Amino acid sequence: MADRPAAGNGPPHPTADGPADVSLPTEPRVSDVGPGGGRHVPDPADDEPPPAGPRRLLIAFYAVFALAATARGIVQIGTKFDEAPLAYLLSLFSGIVYLAATVGLVTDRRWSRPLAWGAIGTEMVGVVTIGIASLVDSTAFPHDTVWSRFGSGYGYVPVILPVLGLMWLWQTRGAARAVPADR
């Protein structure tokens, strides 16, 4: 869409890594971007809220895991609950936790961030606890859940995801306080 690689609209990636970019000369073209260029060059001086990008990627992750874990829990409980009730209830529980985290990330209410903190914190504790428990006593978890063995059945994403989520929440904590007017 607004992706013209070598159109010559200033340095394409002013936020590229490396200290060399710190002393960027002032953008000469900022003034004539106006009419046609819908995409405006990210400018450190811009008074914009923190980027929403990482949050949207987290939403993608959490929504997919909410679907995966909830569906898994429902299918397990619906078809073979007696085989391993604890593990299957845990599947459903993890699905609900992912669901809560997703809601917390998607919405922008007063309770959104506390909900996200609570859910992702629970997820962190859960994946570590169940991860250790499933290694120590594998008979207690004969059937895998999303969190068993630190989520090895899901490419270990379940153990990495809460770390990323908590990092994002921590890094954006100040920005969230700045816009309470929207609730």
Partner 1 sequence: MIQGLAIGVLSAGLLLGAWTGIQASRRRATTDAQMAGAIVLEAALLVQTVIALVRLIGGAPLAESATFVAYSVGILLPLPLGFYLALIERTRWGSLSLCFTAVVVAVMTLRLMQLWQAGGG
| Contact between 150 and 162 (Cβ < 8 Å) | no
**Least Cβ distance, residue 157 to partner 1 (angstroms):** 9
State which residue, 11 or 85, has the beta carbon closest to partner 1. Answer: 11
**Least Cβ distance, residue 56 to partner 1 (angstroms):** 5
Q: What does the binding site for partner 1 look like in residue numbers (CB under 8 A)?
A: 1-3, 5, 13, 15-16, 39, 51-54, 56-57, 59-61, 63-64, 67-68, 71-72, 74-75, 78-79
| Contact between 70 and 92 (Cβ < 8 Å) | yes
Contacts of 175 (CB under 8 A, 6+ apart): 49, 50
State which residue, 19 or 155, has the beta carbon closest to partner 1. Answer: 155
- Burial label for 9, CB within 10 Å (0-12, 13-18, 19+), is middle
Torsion of CA 161, 163, 169, 171, to 10 degrees: -130
**Least Cβ distance, residue 132 to partner 1 (angstroms):** 26
State which residue, 78 or 180, has the beta carbon closest to partner 1. Answer: 78
